[in-house]
Amino acid sequence: MDLKDSVAIATSGLNAQSKRVRVTSENLANANTTSKTAGGEPYRRKTITFKNELDRASGTQRVKVNKIKEDTTSELGMKYDPSHPAADAKGYVRTPNVNSLSEAMDLREAQHSYEANLQVVRAARGMMSSTVDLLRD
């Protein structure tokens, strides 16, 4: 594997983590988004999964987004607010299944992963630049 492959692998990681940040930010932004109609569905948290994909030309593995989908397995919350337009007959409003603390932690982890991949790109670029400088002399 050469430096070009290292940069390509790290770039795939940058793209994947960038999408993870977007999905997590969307979850945080909609943490309090309820339905506008009685008994309606509130915002459902989105999850992102990744997969490895073989780049046949270089023989290296790259990370790709596998799926972005709604989290339908975790329970929605319920809040008593009979004055809310989305309240059911008993006065309860269904709330999103977003845990702001978990999302903030996921956002922080994605940020660290992004920075790690960025450091790989910077290091490889510096090594390529040093090699070119040596060849000029």
pLDDT at 1: 60
Residues facing residue 4 across a β-bridge = none
Residue type, 5: D
pLDDT digit string, tens, across residues 39-93: 789 999 999 999 999 989 888 899 999 999 999 999 999 999 999 999 999 999 9
